[in-house]
């Protein structure tokens, strides 16, 4: 039995297991809201994945452990029951008597199921056309009474959904590799490609049915799945329409994609194509005309808003904007934010900057322009204290130096790289008052 426990822990990823049972949505940092009902504080995602040893830990309610521990706690079962449940739900093919290790041959399984697709009306009932069903090589498992959805033409990954129950399973990571984005082949950087991003494969197929391309993120980690799919591709040819589910999770995923697209300067629009329904497939089931109308509207919206990168705005939009006034440190010269002063060697950059700092920390004029009084910190990385002292005395001409002007000779990192060394923000909070 001990071997079986180890095998289950090795073959299943803790993230897949938590997602499967609790439908929790993980963010980019592999954190999610704690799904345990006795966890009180639900404001921030407190449950983290510890990738190295494939375990989880909630910093709120202090629950932690392996895939087996999670199922025991979440389902309220004992260790053997938990393993049997995982074996069943993830098709691990474990034999409790012989302990045989049977790897799932995903491709063979999906191909077999593809032959039996006519034995279910599951997809027809959900509004998919026979041509769509054939194109996406959907299948049916007669024994399990479940439909199979391959992720791509290579048939090396798939999702299996039970027809009569609201549950599904995905192949164990150790057998099939990490879950890719659904319909990755839609991303082709040769044309001026426009791609819808939805949450589930069936929604992607619903959109593709009407002359459009769509990918599905299939649960958490969508941004990193997409990032992987975009590797080596020319993203300036691509455009994305974010049409995630109409719920809190969908909104969270949307935010994550917006941050990513902005950072990568990839064109996008956010467009709800589901109307009042939860997702595009729900709308398709109600009215295919409405879905088509929304798809066309979304495409038009993309091309009217995004002729270039996502941050492109018309002159009219800009003139109509209510903007905050510029905050000047030195009037008409240095606004708050980042300014870079460049100049030839020995031209006087250090003198200039120390003079600037003296003026701002005193609230005095600089180059005849009014300044706004603030504390200053000069990182004189090439100087030392004696050089600073000589120069300050020359500039101050006998006046007292301001107490809110600081000089340091080393730099502090933005991130916590060393527990004994403060980050820049920690250093500021501690020292610059």
DSSP assignment of 401-424: PPTTEEEESS---SS---TTS--H
Tell me how far, at minimum, the Cβ of 199 lies from Zn ion, in Å.
25
Q: Which one of the spans 58-66, 97-105, 162-170, 172-180 is the region binding Zn ion (CB under 5 A)?
A: 58-66
Q: Which one of the spans 39-47, 89-97, 126-134, 227-235 is the region binding Zn ion (CB under 5 A)?
A: 39-47
Query: Toward Zn ion, which CB reaches closer, 43 or 97?
Result: 43
| Residue 179: closest CA among 196, 194, 166, 160 | 160
Q: Which one of the spans 26-34, 187-195, 296-304, 348-356 is the region binding Zn ion (CB under 5 A)?
A: 26-34
Q: Which one of the spans 30-38, 72-80, 220-228, 382-390 is the region binding Zn ion (CB under 5 A)?
A: 30-38
Query: Toward Zn ion, which CB reaches closer, 24 or 34?
Result: 34
31-32: strand order across its sheet? 31-32, 47-50, 55-58, 64-65
Q: Does 57 bind Zn ion (CB under 5 A)?
A: no
First to last CA, the chain: 62
Q: Which one of the spans 35-43, 251-259, 380-388, 418-426 is the region binding Zn ion (CB under 5 A)?
A: 35-43
CB atoms within 10 A of CB 232: 6
Out of 22, 61, 74, 379, point to the residue binding Zn ion (CB under 5 A).
61
What's the chain's length in residues?
A: 433
Cβ pair 215, 197 in contact under 8 A: yes
Question: What token pair was written down for 3?
Answer: 């071997």
HSE-up of residue 424 (Cα within 13 Å, Cβ side) = 8
Question: What token pair was written down for 351?
Answer: 């003198």
- Kindly determine how many residues on this chain lie close enough to bind Zn ion according to the rule CB under 5 A: 5
Cβ pair 236, 269 in contact under 8 A: no
Q: Does 111 bind Zn ion (CB under 5 A)?
A: no
Q: Does 58 bind Zn ion (CB under 5 A)?
A: yes
Query: Toward Zn ion, which CB reaches closer, 39 or 252?
Result: 39
Query: Toward Zn ion, which CB reaches closer, 48 or 249?
Result: 48
Q: Does 28 bind Zn ion (CB under 5 A)?
A: no
Query: Toward Zn ion, which CB reaches closer, 60 or 171?
Result: 60
Query: Toward Zn ion, which CB reaches closer, 34 or 357?
Result: 34
| Residue 13: closest CA among 52, 73, 54, 47 | 54
Out of 17, 34, 241, 266, point to the residue binding Zn ion (CB under 5 A).
34
Q: Does 45 bind Zn ion (CB under 5 A)?
A: no
Out of 45, 60, 180, 402, point to the residue binding Zn ion (CB under 5 A).
60
Cβ pair 350, 379 in contact under 8 A: no
| Residue 177: closest CA among 339, 17, 11, 331 | 11
Tell me how far, at minimum, the Cβ of 102 lies from Zn ion, in Å.
35
- Give the binding site for Zn ion (CB under 5 A): 34, 39, 58, 60-61
């Amino acid at each position: 039995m001990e071997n079986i426990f180890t095998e289950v822990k090795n073959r299943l990823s803790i993230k897949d297991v938590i997602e499967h049972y609790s439908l929790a949505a993980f963010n980019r940092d592999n954190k999610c809201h704690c799904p345990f009902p006795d966890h009180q504080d639900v404001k921030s995602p407190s449950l983290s994945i510890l990738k190295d040893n494939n375990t989880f830990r909630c910093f709120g309610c202090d629950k932690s452990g392996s895939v087996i521990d999670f199922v025991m706690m979440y389902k309220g079962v004992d260790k053997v029951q938990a393993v049997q449940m995982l074996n069943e739900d993830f098709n691990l093919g474990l034999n409790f008597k012989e302990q045989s290790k049977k790897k799932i041959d995903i491709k063979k399984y999906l191909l077999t199921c593809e032959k039996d697709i006519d034995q279910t009306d599951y997809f027809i009932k959900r509004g998919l056309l026979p041509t769509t069903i054939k194109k996406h090589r959907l299948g049916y498992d007669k024994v399990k009474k479940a439909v199979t959805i391959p992720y791509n033409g290579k048939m090396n990954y798939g999702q299996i959904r039970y027809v009569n129950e609201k549950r599904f399973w995905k192949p164990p990571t150790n057998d099939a590799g990490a879950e890719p984005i659904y319909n990755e082949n839609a991303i082709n950087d040769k044309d001026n490609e426009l791609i819808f991003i939805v949450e589930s494969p069936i929604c992607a197929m619903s959109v593709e049915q009407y002359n459009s391309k769509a990918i599905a993120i299939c649960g958490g980690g969508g941004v990193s799945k997409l990032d992987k799919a975009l590797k080596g591709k020319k993203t300036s040819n691509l455009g994305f329409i974010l049409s995630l589910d109409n719920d809190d999770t969908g909104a969270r995923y949307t935010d994550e994609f917006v941050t990513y697209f902005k950072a990568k300067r990839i064109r996008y629009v956010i467009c709800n194509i589901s109307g009042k329904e939860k997702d595009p497939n729900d709308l398709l089931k109600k009215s295919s005309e409405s879905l088509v109308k929304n798809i066309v509207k979304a495409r038009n919206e993309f091309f009217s808003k995004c002729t270039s990168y996502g941050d492109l705005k018309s002159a009219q939009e800009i003139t109509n904007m209510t903007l905050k006034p510029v905050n000047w440190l030195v009037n008409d010269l240095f606004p708050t934010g980042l300014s870079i002063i460049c100049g030839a060697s020995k031209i006087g950059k250090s003198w200039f900057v120390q003079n600037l700092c003296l003026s701002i920390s005193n609230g005095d004029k600089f180059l005849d322009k009014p300044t706004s009084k603030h504390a200053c910190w000069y990182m004189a990385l090439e100087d030392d204290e004696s050089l600073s002292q000589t120069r300050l005395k020359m500039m101050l001409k006998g006046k007292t130096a301001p107490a809110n002007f600081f000089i340091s000779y080393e730099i502090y990192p933005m991130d916590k790289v060393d527990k004994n060394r403060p980050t820049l923000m920690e250093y500021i909070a501690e020292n610059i008052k």
